[in-house]
Amino acid sequence: MKNNNGKVYLVGAGPGDPGLITVKGVECIRRADVLIYDYLASPELLTHAPKKAELIYVGKTGGDHTLPQNEINSLIIQKAKAGLTVIRLKGGDPFIFGRGGEEAEALVEENIPFEVVPGITSAIAAPTYAGIPLTHRKFTSTVAFVTGHEDPTKKASSIHWKSIAEGIGTIVFLMGVKNLEHITRRLIDCGMPPSTPVALVRWGTTPKQMTVKGTLETITEAVKKAGLSAPAVIVVGKVVELADTLAWFETRPLLGRRIVVTRARDQASDLVRLLSDLGAECFEAPTIKIVPPEDTEPLDKAIDRLSGYDWLIFTSANGVDFFFDRLLASGRDARALGGIKTAVIGPATEKRLRTFGVTSDIIPESYQAESIVKAFQAENIKGKRIVLPRATEARPVLPVELRKMGAFVDEIPAYKTEAVAENADILLGHLEQKTVDMITFTSSSTVKNFKAILPQNRFPDLLEGITIASIGPITTETAEQLGFTVHLTAETYTIDGLCDAIQRYYL
C-alpha cells in the first residue's frame, strides 16, 4: 500500500557550538517544511532553514515544558501525515538521553518513514572543550553515561550505583545539577573515594562555557559558591586532573565577552567568525544593508564606454561586486577591462577584484581615500579619464582631489546603504540589562544608523560601561561627532585589524 505520509528526520543539533552539527544535519534543515526544535539547539542553526519553513519551538528547561513529550510526538505525526518533510532538531544526539527513541517508536506505530541523524552529544563535547579526555591510558579505559535526572526520592533506583562506583573509570552525568548532592553522596556511599576529582561544565562548547572543579567531597559547595546552574554535565574520575593542563577553550582571550556586530548581515560573517574564534559571543544587530542603486542606468552606460577610460578605481569590495554584476549582465567579462588600469583601497577590495581575474595596479599603503590620492601623485593623470563606481553616499574627497590633479572623473553610483534595525528590540534588552561588553562599528553608516535605533533620551544610560570599537579614523570621527566615546580604533583599517585591536584591548 502506498504511503502518502511525509518523512521525519530526527536530527542531532550537537552540544551548542553551531559548528559541531554534522554536514548531513545541515542538509536536512535546508530541506525542511517544518522544523521542530529544542531549547539546547543553537538559534544559528535555524538560519539554514528555508524561508518558507514553519519553525516550532518545543523546548524544555528545568521542568518548564512548552509541550509534554506525548504532545510533541503528536505534533510530529500530524505534520508528517500532512505530507511534509519534518525535521525534529534535538540538542546533542537524539538517542542519548534525548527521548529520540520514544519519538521513533511513535513514528513506527503510525507507519511514518523516518531517519535518525546522529549528533555530537554534550557528554563527550563539553568535557573535551574543558580539556578533559574521557579516556586516557594512564587513567582509565572505561566510561559510562548516566542520567542525573533520576528522582532521588523514588524507592528503587534504575542505576546500579555500586557497579559504576567500583567498576567505571570515568562517569558522565547529564541533567544532574539539581541532584548533585545526591549523586556525590551515592557514589561515596558505594565505595568511591571522597577525594575523587569532579568537574561540572556549564553551557559546554559555547561562549558561556564555565567549568567548576572539586572532589566528590567538595564539589557541591564549590558549585553553590560559583552560582553554577543547569545546563551542565558532571564528570567524575581521575581524568578531571588533566583539565588544568589541557584546557584550551576557556583560555581564549574574548571568552565570555558579548560583542555587538552592526555590519550588514551579508558581510558580517568574517568579523563574526574571527571574534568567535577568539571566544566572543557575537550578537548580530545589522544597522545597514547593501542594495543596488535605484537607477542602474549610469553604471550600465559607464560599462558601455569602458574603452574610453584610462583608470578604474574601486574603494570597497561592494563596489567590485556591483560593478561586475552589471558587467556580466551586459554579456561582457573581465576582458572588457583590457587596457584599463585599476586601483583599489584595502586588501579586502584587492582580494575581491582578484576573484574576477583582475590584479590591481595601485594598492595604497593605508586604507582610506586620502591614501589613494597620495598614491596617484606618482602617476601622470592630467587629462586621464577615471571611472569611480562606489556608494551613492561616499565621501567626496577622492573625486575632488583627483580632479585637482587634472583628471576627468566619472563618479558612478554602484550601490547604496539602507538603514535597517534587525534585532533592535533584543539589542535594547541587552543594553538595558547591561549584558553587552562591546559594540563594533565598521563604517560611518553603521554608526549613524545605530544611533538612530536608540531612544535619544536614554542614549548615555544605555551605553554606560560599554566599550566602543571602530575600524578606522573616519568611522571614529563620525562616532565622536554623534556623541559616542570611542575606546579603540584599529591601526589597520580592516576586519583583521579591528579584531587585532579588540584582542589587544582585552589583554
Grid cell of 87 as nine digits: 525535521
Q: Between the CA of residue 501 and those of 281, 309, 330, 440, 496, what are the distances in Å?
A: 17, 39, 42, 11, 9
Catalytic residue among 7, 17, 33, 38: 38
Catalytic residue among 24, 60, 81, 238: 60
d(C-alpha 269, C-alpha 263), whole Å = 9
Q: What is the DSSP letter of 155?
A: S
The whole-angstrom separation of Cα 173 and Cα 204 is 14
> Quick one: which of 86, 150, 136 has its CA closest to 112?
86
In our burial notation (b when 16+ CB lie closer than 10 A, e otherwise), range 398-414 reads: bbebbeebebebbbbbb
Residue 385 buriedness (CB in 10 A; 0-12 / 13-18 / 19+): middle
Among 485, 490, 445, which Cα is nearest to 464's?
Answer: 485
Catalytic residue among 79, 175, 213, 448: 175
Is 38 among the residues known to form the active site?
A: yes
Given a contact cutoff of 8 angstroms between Cβ atoms, the answer to whether 419 and 290 are in contact is no
Widest distance between CA atoms in the chain: 95
Q: Centre a 10 Å sphere on the Cβ of residue 100 and count the other Cβ atoms it contains.
A: 22
Please identify every residue annotated as catalytic: 38, 60, 175
